[in-house]
Amino acid sequence: MKKIPLFCLVIIAFFLTINLTVFAAGKPPEEGGTLPLIKLPVPESAGEKAYLGLKGKGSFTIPQIKADVVIIEIFSMYCPYCQNEAPRVNELYQAIEKDTELKNKIKIIGIGAGNTPFEVDVFRKKYQIPFPLFPDVDFSIHKVCGEVRTPYFIGIKINKDGTHEVIYSKLGTIQDAQQFLDLILKKSGLKKEG
Amino acid sequence: MMKKIIPATVLTAILFLVSAVYGASEMFKDYIYQPGTLKPIDSKPKLKVGDKAPDFALSSITGEKVSLSQYIGKKNVVISFVPAAWTPVCSDQWPGYNLVKDIFDQYDTTLLGITVDNIPTLYAWTRPMGDIWFPVLSDFWPHGKVAKKYGVLRSNGVSERALFVIDKKGIIRYIDVHDINKRPLLEDLVKELEKLKK
């Protein structure tokens, strides 16, 4: 048996290690748990930057968004259910924005699984989506989120100390914007039951 | 030996990193057949840019016959061959095109979607996609005749994932016989449509 060069073994070992950590297909985030590490680019648009309470350039992680709750939609421009769902998610955004108490507490972002910036932009323009959308060209975010089917919604609660907790993680449409918002309020503790 | 091992190792390593999940819409639930990674291209080209596009007439899922010649002199045509219904990438690609009729209209272009599946299969597969604005055509019998004419019939009887842009004179202006495992980028097609205006 010929010897496998040490160089190749090192490369294989390196990528296997990487694969098991950063690039491994994770499980979908579980309620009570935390998000996998997801780095997104700080939006160039001043409006989107202000909406998320971010400054400067570079990247950010979702718990760095200035909010008590962040709702993340994993979608694809190519997903018919996501297309059908877009007006309802806009309704959710409007319901939050018109409520002066919730406006600065709950933010929404979308992540386009396997979508290029162009494709995300087509989706944004088609449905006049008012909240920030981020492309995930190489499916890397989709992968760490358990390669979920779309649309998939994740809600996180951000604590004062910067830690966070997943409060909602579910496949499928939100059905009704107000009911979904009520559910998020209940699960996050922003609104007590009763 | 070393020269062969190193690229192979690096390629294997890259494959670990590249993972794409197409056809993930909840609309299809778990009805999508996962064929695994296939040979990217399995046919030999018969046509080139500048050739006259071969005419054809195929049945659509709405029951009408659609020919290429009916568009000559009237509209540019994009032909989208996709390999098969109920497979991952194909189940993404057409819903995407279905969303961007305005872009096709902008460039005075229609789209013809073709697979080698039969009409009932194509009908069942495309129904949940909603109202599809472009003709969905069956190249089922004689099996893959049009795909063969266009040089995109694979050895196992399905077509390649291929795009042909044909101008109003019936001349082929762009061919993309794409890696069957990947979805062509929408912007690449739009760039080619932009060129038709020049």
Q: Which of A103, A91, A34 is nearest to A67 (CA)?
A: A103
Looking at the domain A27-188, which fold is it? Glutaredoxin (3.40.30)
Residue B25 is predicted with a pLDDT of 74
**ipTM for the complex shown:** 0.82
B135: number of Cβ within 10 Å:
18
Express each pLDDT in A4-63 by its tens digit: 555 545 444 444 444 433 445 688 999 999 999 999 999 999 999 999 999 999 999 999
Inter-residue contact A131 to A51 (CB < 8 Å): yes
Residue B12 is predicted with a pLDDT of 44
The verdict on pTM exceeding 0.80 is yes
Residue A143 is predicted with a pLDDT of 94
CA distance A97 to A88: 14
Contact state of B25 with A79 under an 8 Å Cβ cutoff: yes
**DSSP SS3 for A53:** coil
Contact state of A139 with B19 under an 8 Å Cβ cutoff: yes
Express each pLDDT in B142-188 by its tens digit: 999 999 999 999 999 999 999 999 999 999 999 999 999 999 999 99
Q: What phi, psi does A136 have (nearest 5°)? A: -125, 70
Residue B120 is predicted with a pLDDT of 96
Model confidence band, residue B34 (pLDDT cutoffs 50, 70, 90): confident
Among A19, A116, A139, the residue with its CB nearest the CB of B16 is: A19
Contact state of B26 with A172 under an 8 Å Cβ cutoff: yes
Q: What residues in A contact B186, CB-CB < 8 Å?
A: 77, 116, 118-119, 122
Tokens of B107: 């460039």
- Best mutation target among B28, B31, B99, B186 (most A Cβ atoms within 10 Å) is B99
Q: What is the mean pLDDT of residues A106-129?
A: 97
Nearest CA distance, B167 vs chain A (angstrom): 24
Contact state of B99 with A123 under an 8 Å Cβ cutoff: yes
DSSP B21-80: --S-BGGGTT------S--S--S-----TTSBPPP-EEEETTS-EEESGGGTTT-EEEEE
Residue B24 is predicted with a pLDDT of 72
The residue written with tokens 């294989």 in the block is A12
Q: Which of A54, A34, A35 is nearest to A44 (CA)?
A: A54
Contact state of A113 with B21 under an 8 Å Cβ cutoff: yes
Inter-residue contact A190 to B64 (CB < 8 Å): no
Residues 28-47, chain A, touching B (beta carbon < 8 A):
none
Inter-residue contact A77 to A120 (CB < 8 Å): yes
Q: Which residues pair with A108 in a beta bridge?
A: A71
The residues spanned by each domain of chain A are 27-188
Q: Is B151 left (phi over 0), alpha (psi -120 to 50) or beta?
A: left
Residue A194 is predicted with a pLDDT of 47
The residues spanned by each domain of chain B are 39-196
Q: Where are the alpha helices (DSSP H) in chain A?
A: 6-21, 46-52, 80-97, 117-127, 140-144, 177-188
**Sequence-separated contacts (24+) of A41-46 with Cβ below 8 Å:** A41/A134, A43/A132, A45/A132
CA distance A29 to A36: 7
CATH class of B39-196: alpha beta
Model confidence band, residue B122 (pLDDT cutoffs 50, 70, 90): very high
Inter-residue contact A153 to A73 (CB < 8 Å): yes
Select which of B53, B82, B90, B152 is catalytic: B90
CA distance A118 to A125: 11
CA distance A193 to B164: 58
pLDDT of A77 strictly over 90:
yes
Inter-residue contact B183 to B22 (CB < 8 Å): yes
Model confidence band, residue B54 (pLDDT cutoffs 50, 70, 90): very high
Residue A67 is predicted with a pLDDT of 97
Residues 6+ apart with CB under 8 A from A183: A168
Express each pLDDT in B107-117 by its tens digit: 999 999 999 99
Q: What residues in A contact B16, CB-CB < 8 Å?
A: 15-16, 18-19, 23
Model confidence band, residue A164 (pLDDT cutoffs 50, 70, 90): very high
**DSSP SS3 for A96:** helix
Q: What is the mean pLDDT of residues B71-90?
A: 91
Nearest CA distance, B92 vs chain A (angstrom): 5
Model confidence band, residue B86 (pLDDT cutoffs 50, 70, 90): confident
Residue in chain A closest to B17 (alpha carbons) equals A23
CA distance B178 to A44: 33
Among B21, B27, B130, the residue with its CB nearest the CB of A142 is: B21
Question: Cα–Cα distances in Å, from A193 out to A82, A184, B145?
Answer: 30, 12, 64
Among A8, A23, A148, the residue with its CB nearest the CB of B17 is: A23
Contact state of A151 with B26 under an 8 Å Cβ cutoff: yes
Strands A164-171, A106-113: parallel, antiparallel or unpaired by DSSP? unpaired
Q: How many Cβ contacts (< 8 angstroms) between chains A and B?
A: 111
- Reply yes or no on whether B167 is catalytic: no
Among A12, A19, A77, the residue with its CB nearest the CB of B99 is: A77
Model confidence band, residue A192 (pLDDT cutoffs 50, 70, 90): low
CA distance B130 to B78: 21
pLDDT of A154 strictly over 70:
yes
Q: What phi, psi does A23 have (nearest 5°)? A: -100, -5
At A118, the amino acid letter reads F
pLDDT of B10 strictly over 50:
no
pLDDT of B94 strictly over 60:
yes
Contact state of B96 with A78 under an 8 Å Cβ cutoff: yes
Largest Cα–Cα separation, chain B:
59
Q: What residues in B contact A18, CB-CB < 8 Å?
A: 16-17
